[in-house]
Structures are given as C-alpha cells and as structure tokens.
Amino acid sequence: MSSIQNSVQNMNVQNIAATSQIIGSQTTEQAYTGSGSMDPLRPLPRPIDQLHECLAALGLSEADAVIETCLERASKEAPSYAQFLTELLTSELTARQLRQLRMRLRMARLPYQKTLDQFDFAFQPSIEERQIRELSTLRFVHELSNVIFLGPPGVGKTHLCVGLADLAIRSGFSAYFVTAHELIADLSRALREGKLDRRLRQYVTPKVLVIDEMGYLPLDDRGATLFFQLVTARYERGSILLTSNKGYAEWGSVFGDPVIATAILDRLLHHSTTINIRGESYRLKERRRAGLPSTPERSLENQG
C-alpha cells in the first residue's frame, strides 16, 4: 500500500475514532460546535465529509455520488427518514444492477444486439409466434431445457437465439454465445494443453449457452467426442440454445458417426423444444428491397 493510501486510511480511522468519541462523550451539538473537551487544535470533520467517507468505505459509490443532491432535495421536500433512505439506497441498487447487467452483456459476447420485438413474424409464417412468446417467459431456463432452431441460412435462427439470450441476461441470468466451430477449436486446444476439464467447466457455468451454426462444418472424431462431452456436462445443468442448418436426420454425417450423433441427440433433446424454420432468407428480402440481385447470396446460401 502506498504511503499516501496509508495516511489517508489512518486519517479515516482517526476521524471515525474521533466521531465515536464525540458521539460517546458529548451531545451532537457540542461536537459540531466544538464546545466539548476535544483537542481544540484538531479540526472537526464535517458531517458531510464523514458521510462521504462512510459511504466510500462501504463501497456504496453511487450513494456517495448522489448523497448531496439527495440531502438538498430532502431539505426542500422533507421526506420521512424511511423515504429518504429508500431513495438513497435505491439509487445505489439501480446503479449496481446496471453495472452487473452491462458486465453480463459484455461477458456473453453476443454477435449483435437484437431483440425478439425486432423480429418480423409475418415474414416467417413457419414460426409460431406463440411458441416464441412462450420461450420469452424463460421457463426453459428455469427448467434447464434446450431450444434448437433448425432451418436454412438467413431465416432468423441466430436472431432468435440472441433475442432470447438478451432477455435471459436482462432477467439476471448469465449467458455465453459461441459458434460451434469456435467451441470445438477452443475445446481441442484445451485438450492439447491438458486443460479440458477447466475449459468444459467454463462452458457449463453460464445458465444459457448459445451454440451457433452447428453442422455448417463437419466434425472429425475428436470434435464429435468433445461436443458429446460438452452436451453431457451441461445436461440438466443449464440450457443450450443451438442453431443448425441440418435436420436431425443429417446429424449422423455432421458428427461422422451415427452412434455418437444418437448419444448427443439423446441428451440434447431429452428436455427441449425444436423450432423448425422453413422459409425465405431475410437477407435476400433485404437485398431485393435494396434493388440488388439476389443471385450471389443465393449461391452462398446453397452451400450452407
């Protein structure tokens, strides 16, 4: 600790000790007017400074920032003691919750910020809006169950996952977004470095894990085994939101082995909802609306 910090802390301790002495041996008025038996040379701390010190020492940084405004308003509006304290502590609580929310949003690494309200259900009639509204109650998070979005590219699978993850985060849950490709690459690296268990635990911790684009690239044996380990580790511990352009019947070829594909599906689907989206790519619609030809993207989409 620096000497400045040290002396500041000593000063704080002295002030607090002085305050307790004052309160213990004198009336408050005597203490504030300096008419008691205290060392006359020692400057008396102002109550507001003591208050700032206490709030800072308790880590109530927002209350510390707003206390003077609250006091000023209180002197005009004369709220009850309870109202005053409630106002002060509510501002601390709100600031804290906002800080934690920002932290959870940052840690989730969502690829973009989209909400369910921004989803145009009229454009994608194969999705039952009622079903998405049911998911938005987040019952699936409480029940540790999974949601799997299947469908061709551009139909809104990632958007819906991001919207649900965003809702979960705003409701106080932790979430993490990763593409299947990144996930397997990361777990393979951890395996090579002998840190697989620790890494798996990090993927088990978030209440909602989004695994995007499963099936775009086929997995080798090791990739399939790692994915199986992850699904097993999260089984009945937390929700997985997964997107894939491949129907379940094709998962055998995605994992290169029907046995492991069946074992994965068995755990993944035990408690789950599948949303099958059949329809046109929203990206193509936007291209058309902008007067651009849809051909280049269509050829890309066909690869997906």
Binding interface with Mg ion (CB under 5 A): 158
- Rounded distance between C-alpha atoms, residue 55 and residue 260, angstroms: 57
Q: Which of residues 49-108 bind ligand ADP (CB under 6 A)?
A: none
Report the DSSP beta bridge partners of residue 272.
146
Q: List, in sequence order, the alpha helices (H) in the chain.
A: 3-25, 28-33, 47-57, 61-77, 81-108, 129-135, 139-142, 157-170, 180-192, 196-204, 221-234, 251-254, 258-270, 282-289, 295-303
Question: Is position 120 an interface residue for ligand ADP (rule: CB under 6 A)?
Answer: yes
Nearer of residues 91 and 158 to Mg ion, judged by Cβ? 158
One of 77, 123, 222, 258 touching ligand ADP (CB under 6 A): 123
- Rounded distance between C-alpha atoms, residue 119 and residue 160, angstroms: 8
Nearer of residues 162 and 169 to ligand ADP, judged by Cβ? 162
Helices 81-108, 61-77: axis angle to 10 degrees equals 150
One of 155, 169, 210, 241 touching ligand ADP (CB under 6 A): 155
Of Mg ion, ligand ADP, none, which one sits near residue 215, judging by CB under 5 to 8 A according to partner kind? none
Question: Is position 163 an interface residue for ligand ADP (rule: CB under 6 A)?
Answer: no
Question: Is position 216 an interface residue for ligand ADP (rule: CB under 6 A)?
Answer: no
Q: Show the tokens assigned to 253.
A: 């070829």
Which of 157, 186, 187, 163 lies closest to 175, judged by CA? 163
Question: Is position 113 an interface residue for ligand ADP (rule: CB under 6 A)?
Answer: no
Q: Which of residues 232-291 bind ligand ADP (CB under 6 A)?
A: 243, 282-283
Provide the binding-site residues for ligand ADP, judged by CB under 6 A.
114, 118-120, 123-124, 151, 153-159, 243, 282-283
